[in-house]
Amino acid sequence: MPSESVASFLDLAKSNRLLPADQVEDLSEREDVPNHSLAALCDFLLDRGSITPYQAERIRSGSGAELNFAGYPMLAEIGPCPGGVAYKALHPSLRTPIVLRRLRASWLAPADNVAAYVSRAQDACPVTHAHLAHLLDAGVFQEEPFVAFETFDGANLRTLVTDIGAMPAILAVGYGRQIALGLQAAHERGQVHGDVRPTNVLVGPLVPMAKPRADGTPRFRPGPTAVVKVLELGLVPRRPPAVDWIAADSTVEVDEVAYLAPERFSANAVEPAGDVYGLGATLYFLMTGRAPYLGATSAEVATAVAEGSFTPLESLRPDLGAYLIALVAGLMNLDSTTRPTTAEAVAALGVLVGIAPPSPPVKVEPPSPIVVPDDGAGGEDMAPLESVMGEADVTPLEVEPTDEREVDSTPVTLEGVPSEVGDFIAEPPAAPPGGWVVVPYQGEAAPAYSVPEYQPPAWSEEAPAFDHEAAAEDDSPPRPQPVEKGGKLWVWIGVGASLQVLAVLMWVYFFIQPGCSSTPDAPAKKPTPKKTK
């Protein structure tokens, strides 16, 4: 019988879905399970992989009830995240891994609140795209806001550039186009991101590099199938103008303001044009390894953004083409009204990677209705159609016959058919063709033979018509049909006769010979000895 602590844990594991219900029942009934102490049971489950080290540590410390938050069983702590702590958790019913964030309500102050934040997150949940991290859930549990979204195997772009350095132009443009595709899908659904920067864009899967980092940890580079996904859609809190925000909070990091659009420093409006600016600034970072505006503090960055003083891209990457440099400059234009849309950015970046922009749809004008003057004919017939569909587009016409001659409707025999109508009467059926002609084989050089084209007999109007009534009254036996000469019957008769003659000859040759008897059992006659004198 399990101890009280073990029994309490099993009940807790079943109610909080830490373990599947059938596994809990199995643990209660098996004899090899160490149920005398909770610590021994945790070691047993940990060795079997049924629980994680994080869960085992929380269970041993008596905090097992905290392993379920808002219905999600938590597996491990990932670490700090914007506004709180991120955990690896399980979907309650599917048992698939997800990322669960537990947020601080104070993180949303002073311009946002929990209700508005959760409402925006729930509105963003239905927006899905291949280059958007899918948000699964958002809510409040025990007065603590939380969000849940899909897991992703990879790292953010800032970490990747730290490992591999500035990217080749073709790779940076390819990733930039994927970011633009995700933002375009969000904008088309009425959603604005509000904080597009390298740390909010994930890339993966990654593969380890041969040379590790200075601290010994492995470095990574993109795998051959790596893609990017924009993170934080619907999860960015509303902030006051950046100047006021920085002045009120000294903990604001440089990375949080280095990619904000210039208009965000004087106003708190979040617009799609601000996402386009963040896209351009992210492209600048991918190809140079540094942010457009530099500063030791957030206030210094804010001043640089307001003055528009950043190092031109062509001075850092002279190998880039003029088209790409002009495109990045257009995305980062200080005037938000002159920036391209995300759809235009997708098309422009697609040209650089060899993807032709989509052709505009061809506008097809509907055909003009045919209007026929109404002379009064057919008005009564059109009345029902007009009452259902309105004025008719086409007025029916009365077709006059082109030939005014009248044709007699009485049955017409062949002799009495007028010449004008005779062409429409079919020819009488002709007799079937004769038999096939056998042609001897003459080798490969022999000319090709074909059956002569059948010529029907000439029609004679003087031929007597067949009397069907007389034939029906004739009760005489049917006359035998003559066999056509040269037909297949004579061929088979000749073959049979030849075989019979051959059989007779063979019988004579083998059985009727001098010295042979037709009776094989008769004794042979002894020769008479010759008398000698």
User: How do residues 176-222 score in pLDDT, each as one tens digit?
Assistant: 999 999 999 999 999 999 999 999 999 999 999 999 998 889 999 99
pLDDT of residue 269: 84
Q: Please, which pLDDT band fits residue 251 given cuts at 50, 70 and 90?
A: confident
- Res 325 pLDDT > 90: yes
User: What does the mean pLDDT of the chain come to?
Assistant: 79
Q: Work out the average pLDDT over 303-311.
A: 82
- Res 341 pLDDT > 80: yes
Determine whether 65 is exposed, middle or buried from the number of CB atoms within 10 Å of its CB (0-12, 13-18, 19+). exposed
Among 330, 228, 335, residue whose Cα is nearest residue 271? 335
Cα dist from 56 to 141, 312, 337, whole Å? 24, 54, 56
pLDDT of residue 502: 85
pLDDT, one tens digit per residue, over 81-119 is 989 999 999 998 888 999 999 999 999 988 899 999 999
Is the pTM here over 0.85, yes or no?
A: no
Which structure tokens are listed for 280?
Answer: 């351009």
Q: Work out the average pLDDT over 123-146.
A: 94
Residue 525 half-sphere exposure, CB side, CA atoms within 13 Å? Answer: 6
Least confident residue range of 226-235, 281-290, 396-405: 396-405
Q: Is the CB of residue 334 less than 8 Å from the CB of residue 262?
A: yes
Q: Is the CB of residue 240 less than 8 Å from the CB of residue 210?
A: no
CATH classification (class only), 152-352: mainly alpha
pLDDT of residue 415: 42
One-letter identity of residue 70: A
Is 303 or 403 the better-scoring residue by pLDDT?
303
Among 211, 214, 331, 361, residue whose Cα is nearest residue 262? 331
pLDDT of residue 201: 97
φ, ψ for residue 229, nearest 5 deg: -135, 135
Q: What fold does the segment set 70-151 form as a domain? A: Phosphorylase Kinase; domain 1 (3.30.200)
Q: Is the CB of residue 456 less than 8 Å from the CB of residue 429?
A: no
pLDDT of residue 480: 53
φ, ψ for residue 101, nearest 5 deg: -110, 130
Question: What element of type H or E holds 362?
Answer: none
Is 143 or 27 the better-scoring residue by pLDDT?
143
pLDDT of residue 442: 47
Least confident residue range of 274-278, 299-303, 377-381: 377-381
**Residue limits of CATH 1.10.510.10 in the chain:** 152-352
Which structure tokens are listed for 179?
Answer: 């970011």
| CA–CA distance, 256 with 495 (Å, rounded to integer) | 107
Least confident residue range of 53-62, 121-130, 152-161: 53-62
Percentage of residues in the chain with pLDDT exceeding 70?
71
User: Residues in the chain, how many?
Assistant: 533
**Residue limits of CATH 3.30.200.20 in the chain:** 70-151
- Res 433 pLDDT > 50: no
pLDDT, one tens digit per residue, over 448-497 is 544 455 455 454 445 455 555 555 555 555 555 554 555 677 778 888 88
Q: Please, which pLDDT band fits residue 22 given cuts at 50, 70 and 90?
A: confident
Q: Is the CB of residue 394 less than 8 Å from the CB of residue 370?
A: yes
pLDDT of residue 336: 93
For 24-171, where are the E strands, in sequence order? 68-69, 72-81, 84-90, 97-103, 135-141, 144-150, 155-156
